[in-house]
């Protein structure tokens, strides 16, 4: 009969992982689409998420070095959590990016039967008409400014002004168009609005009819009273976004939050490995509590966003508030971790430099970058892909897309990360770190290719189970390997450097390329490109490791074991006892 021994010293560490991930689950996955809702394009979001990991790359090793040198890991750990919680709370109050007054070139035409305004979208949106029909008022007014030819000026003066107060010829005319919403029609990527009547500059309201065989068809600048219409047609030009304080405010808040959580995650892993002592393979047993917290609250958050939202615009304030509340609980629990730093390096810089000269560490760092590129795309643009698919599928699917996203995150954590964090020790002892590295690249490549052929966002749910390998096994492999190779007294610095390479270079590059490709090629093609990249990286990594193994003969057999760069690490055989004592 199996008997489980609860290690009370590790309970606060498990509690930290649970509540930290439970608190970030309602916030972090939605940050990129939240920025999009505030008015930023996918390209600008990609730029922002290029800067954020770079800030983490600087903060992690810097804070790690300070923590190692001055033996203040726990203090930095708690301060970072407080900083992150405050920044996450501030996100609730971020203002939207203002749109230009004249947002779109519209086409206006009139004849003897009716007048029509048509606006064509840059990209086809099958459900644009559904958004228009969510407008609560029956009639919308649009400010129009139209250029006229001499012939058109003559027609307008005679038929609209009846030659009264008409300064002939008119080169330009400004008027207010009254548009009944229930007469709007969508054909392809264009919307056609019937004009009921217009109010001229002199205050007169007339029916804008034109005689037959007279061409009054011209381009006009348009700005409507309904934000739904204005917001769907355009966003602030990318080259002008830096002139808005809303951009700098969002970037600042996101930066502070990212630095806080980056330092928290890095130092937390260091504390965890130190508490585990000579059993780093048990890391997955602790970290799986984080997957549990993330999975539960990500599902709840996705549903709550849809419940508290009205129409296409989503309300994130309630779930952001819940997340901050959970983070406050996390800070209290984290303060109960009993930890005392034992070893200190006499020369942290020298020890780290010697480590970085090892060829296997260089290969390991390149692997971290490749996985960072792929992870950056998943973290920041998977929801963009799902929302793009929803817009092109049906209005019903789009109306509860946040529920789908919440379920996706739940499956990623509960069905993927949770079991693989638990099994990571067993897997790593069977196939070794090197083979695990190749495996996660292979699976992430296949996962991206699957995304690239989806048409219905519901069908993303089955593939989310693969997140157990692409993040659960990957993260356990990356952090435990870093813990093994770290020189004594440099554990926090080493974890910080690994995190810096993964996020600062990999995730940053993946975010930039993802935002750029999403803007140019769309979601499906972007994921296909990244999928091919991951598969090529997998083949290259496997080949390089095979050549290293043959040339250096660091393993007694053909299997890449649980190996450190200098010497093979002993294989743990007491598996049943470890399972019983895992908690």
Q: In what order do the strands lie in the sheet with 216-224?
A: 185-187, 190-195, 115-120, 104-110, 216-224, 139-147, 172-180, 197-200, 205-206
Q: Sorting pLDDT into bands at 50, 70 and 90, what band is 350?
A: low
What are the Cα distances from residue 511, in Å, to 241, 378, 441, 488, 577? 18, 9, 18, 34, 43
Nearest to 515 by CA among 376, 388, 323, 398: 376
- pLDDT above 80 for 208: yes
Using CA atoms, how far apart are residues 38 and 35, in angstroms rounded to an integer? 5
Supply the pLDDT for residue 436.
93
- pLDDT above 70 for 105: yes
Angle at 220 between CA 215 and CA 223, to 5 degrees: 145
Higher pLDDT, 301 or 579: 301
- pLDDT digits 0-9 by tens, 220-250: 888 888 877 776 655 445 557 888 899 999 9
**Backbone phi, psi, residue 222, to 5°:** -135, 140
Q: Sorting pLDDT into bands at 50, 70 and 90, what band is 100?
A: low
Contacts of 321 (CB under 8 A, 6+ apart): 89, 92
Three-state SS string over 432-464 comes to: HHHHHHHHHHHHHHHHHHHHHCCCCHHHHCHHH
pTM: 0.66
Supply the pLDDT for residue 165.
61
- pLDDT digits 0-9 by tens, 496-532: 678 778 887 898 899 889 988 988 888 899 999 999 9
Mean predicted confidence (pLDDT) in 399-420: 88
Supply the pLDDT for residue 531.
96
- pLDDT digits 0-9 by tens, 539-580: 999 999 888 888 766 444 433 343 433 333 333 334 435 444
Interhelix angle 418-452/474-485, rounded to 10 degrees, is 120
Supply the pLDDT for residue 322.
95
Mean predicted confidence (pLDDT) in 156-185: 79
Using CA atoms, how far apart are residues 259 and 261, in angstroms rounded to an integer? 6
Using CA atoms, how far apart are residues 321 and 301, in angstroms rounded to an integer? 11
What are the Cα distances from residue 340, in Å, to 273, 346, 477, 493? 13, 18, 25, 17
Interhelix angle 42-70/348-356, rounded to 10 degrees, is 130
Torsion of CA 506, 512, 514, 518, to 10 degrees: 180
CATH topology of domain 8-97+238-580: Growth Hormone; Chain: A; (1.20.1250)
Contacts of 150 (CB under 8 A, 6+ apart): 169
- pLDDT digits 0-9 by tens, 63-81: 877 776 777 878 898 999 9
- pLDDT above 50 for 389: yes
- Of the listed ranges 125-129, 184-188, 199-203, 348-352, the least confidently predicted one is 348-352
User: Is 324:339 a contact under the CB 8 Å cutoff?
Assistant: no
- pLDDT digits 0-9 by tens, 161-173: 766 667 656 778 8
Using CA atoms, how far apart are residues 29 and 378, in angstroms rounded to an integer? 10
Q: Where are the domains of the chain?
A: 8-97+238-580, 104-233
Supply the pLDDT for residue 5.
63
Supply the pLDDT for residue 574.
43
Q: What is the mean pLDDT of the chain?
A: 81
Mean predicted confidence (pLDDT) in 430-434: 88
Supply the pLDDT for residue 154.
81
Nearest to 489 by CA among 344, 280, 278: 344
User: Is 523:36 a contact under the CB 8 Å cutoff?
Assistant: no
């Amino acid at each position: 009969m199996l008997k489980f021994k609860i290690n009370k010293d590790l309970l606060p560490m498990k509690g930290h992982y649970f509540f930290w991930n439970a608190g970030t689950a309602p916030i972090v996955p939605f940050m990129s689409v939240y920025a999009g809702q505030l008015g930023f394009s996918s390209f600008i979001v990609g730029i922002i998420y290029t800067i954020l990991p770079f800030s983490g790359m600087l903060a992690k090793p810097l804070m790690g070095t300070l923590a190692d040198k001055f033996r203040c890991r726990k203090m930095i750990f708690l301060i970072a959590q407080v900083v992150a919680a405050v920044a996450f709370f501030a996100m609730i109050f971020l203002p939207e990016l203002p749109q230009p007054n004249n947002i779109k070139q519209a086409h206006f035409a009139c004849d003897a039967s009716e007048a029509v305004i048509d606006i064509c979208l840059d990209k086809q949106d099958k459900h644009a008409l559904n958004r228009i029909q969510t407008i609560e008022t029956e009639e919308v007014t649009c400010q129009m400014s139209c250029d006229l030819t001499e012939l058109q000026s003559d027609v307008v003066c005679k038929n609209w002004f009846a030659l009264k107060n008409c300064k002939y010829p008119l080169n330009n005319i400004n008027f207010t168009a009254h548009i009944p919403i229930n007469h709007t029609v969508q054909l392809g990527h264009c919307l056609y609005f019937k004009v009921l009547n217009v109010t001229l500059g002199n205050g007169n309201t007339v029916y804008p009819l034109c005689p037959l065989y007279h061409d009054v068809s011209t381009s006009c600048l348009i700005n409507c009273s309904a934000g739904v219409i204005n917001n769907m047609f355009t966003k602030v030009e990318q080259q002008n976004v830096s002139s808005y304080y809303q951009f700098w405010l969002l970037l600042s808040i996101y930066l502070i939050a990212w630095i806080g959580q980056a330092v928290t995650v890095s130092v937390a892993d260091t504390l965890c490995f130190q508490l585990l002592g000579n059993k780093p393979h048990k890391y997955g047993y602790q970290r799986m509590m984080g997957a549990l917290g993330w999975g539960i609250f990500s599902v709840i958050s996705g549903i709550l966003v849809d419940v508290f939202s009205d129409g296409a615009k989503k309300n994130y304030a309630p779930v952001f508030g819940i997340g901050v509340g959970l983070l406050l609980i996390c800070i209290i629990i984290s303060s109960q971790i009993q930890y005392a730093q034992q070893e200190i390096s006499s020369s942290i810089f020298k020890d780290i430099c010697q480590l970085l000269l090892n060829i296997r560490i260089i290969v390991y760092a390149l692997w971290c970058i490749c996985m960072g590129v792929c992870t950056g795309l998943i973290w920041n643009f998977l929801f963009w892909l799902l929302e793009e698919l929803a817009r092109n599928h049906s209005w019903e699917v789009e109306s509860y897309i946040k529920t789908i996203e919440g379920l996706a995150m739940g499956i990623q954590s509960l069905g993927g990360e949770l079991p693989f964090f638990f099994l990571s020790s067993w897997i790593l002892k069977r196939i070794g770190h090197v083979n695990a590295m190749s495996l996660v690249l292979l699976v992430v490549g296949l996962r991206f290719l699957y995304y690239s052929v989806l048409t219905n966002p519901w069908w993303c749910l089955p593939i989310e189970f693969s997140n157990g390998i692409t993040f659960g096994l990957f993260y356990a492999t990356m952090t435990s390997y870093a813990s093994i190779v770290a020189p004594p007294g440099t554990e926090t610095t080493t974890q910080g450097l690994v995190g810096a390479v993964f996020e600062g270079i990999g995730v940053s590059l993946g975010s930039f390329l993802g935002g750029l490709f999403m803007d140019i090629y769309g979601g499906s093609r972007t994921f296909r490109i990244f999928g091919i990249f991951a598969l090529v990286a997998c083949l290259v990594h496997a080949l390089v490791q095979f050549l290293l193994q043959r040339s250096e003969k660091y393993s007694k057999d053909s299997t890449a074991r649980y190996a450190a760069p200098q010497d093979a690490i002993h294989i743990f055989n007491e598996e049943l006892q470890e399972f019983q004592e895992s908690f």
